[in-house]
Amino acid sequence: MKAFSNVHPAVCMTYFLSVLLVSMFVPHPVLQAEVLFGGALFCALLGGRRASFRDLGFYVPLFLMVAVTNPLFSHNGVTPLFFLNGNPVTLEAILCGISIAVTVIGVLLWCKCYSFIMTSDKFLYLFGKPIPKLSLVLSMALRFIPVYIRQSRRVSRAQKAMGLYSGKSIVDRVKNRMRVLTAMISWSLENAMETSASMKARGYGGKKRTSFFPFRFRTSDGVLLAGTIVLLAVTLAGAAAGVTDFNFYPRVGVIGNSSAAVAVYAAFGALCLLPSALEVKEAVTWNYFVSRI
C-alpha cells in the first residue's frame, strides 16, 4: 500500500522539494546519511524487497564509481595514503568521494520515490493552470519513459520467442538491439500520432475546457504540511547559523555534537523518515483490521 500517495499533491511536492533542497545544498555527513537511509527505506516500502535488491546492481557500482573518481582527480588534503602515478591519494579526498557518492545515491533514491508518488495527474493538478502546455508536455514525457521501457521488453521477448537471439557474439547482440530500437522508433511515432488524434477528438485546445481531479485538502494534509515546514525550518535555521558547516579539506572536520547540532540532526532525520512512518502506520492499521475480520 502507498499511504503517502493519498496525501494532497501540494503537500507531496513540498515534502520532496524540502528533502532534495537540504540533501543537495547542505553537505554534512550526518544529513547525507539520513538522506540515504530515508530514501532507501522509503523505496523498499514502495517497491518491495525484490525491486530493492534488484536495484542494488545499479546503485552499488555507481556508488563505488563516484567514490573512487574523486580521489583520482582531487589530490587535496594533508593525509596522503599512497601515491598513484606520482600523485598523492589522500584520506580527505577518499572521504569526500564517499560523501559525494552518498549524496548522489540518496538523491537518486528520493527521485525514484518521487516518480512512485507524483503521478502525471498530480503534476497536471498542480501546474495545469499556471503553465498548462509545459505541464502537459512534462507529464506526457514522464509517463512515456516507463511505457517505453515496458514496450521494449515486450518487443525483446517477442523477438527471443522468434529465435532472433540465437547468436551469442557481440555483433549479434548489437544487431538484436538495433532491431529492438527500430521497432521502438516505429512504435513511438505511431503512438504519438494516436495520442494527438485522441486529444483532438476529445476537444483538447478548445476554449471551454474543464477538468476533474479527485484531490481534497484534508486536515491530515494540513498537519503533515505544517510538520514538514517546521522540520525544514529547523534544519535550514541550523544551516544558516553554521551548525552544519563541515569541511573535508585541508583536514577532515569534526562532526558537531552540540544541542543545536543534535536538534538539526533530529529534525532532518524525522523529515526523512516521515513518509516511511506513514507507510508503516498504514500497514499496521491494515493488518489489524484484516485480523479482526
More confident residue, 166 or 271: 271
Q: Which of 16, 14, 59 is nearest to 272 (CA)?
A: 16
pLDDT-wise least confident of 98-102, 182-186, 234-238, 256-260: 182-186
Per-residue pLDDT tens for 147-192? 878 888 888 888 777 776 666 677 777 777 788 888 888 888 888 7
Q: Which of 61, 66, 15 is nearest to 38 (CA)?
A: 15
Q: How many CB atoms lie within 10 A of CB 183?
A: 17
pLDDT digits (tens, 9 = 90+) for 39-90: 999 988 888 777 777 888 888 888 999 888 888 888 888 888 888 877 888 8
pLDDT band, very low/low/confident/very high, at 99 (cuts 50, 70, 90):
very high
How many domains does the chain divide into? 1
Note the pTM of the prediction, 2 decimals: 0.77
CA gap 125, 214 in Å, rounded: 10
Q: Which domain holds residue 9?
A: 4-292
Phi-psi region of 242 (alpha: psi -120 to 50; beta: other; left: phi over 0): left
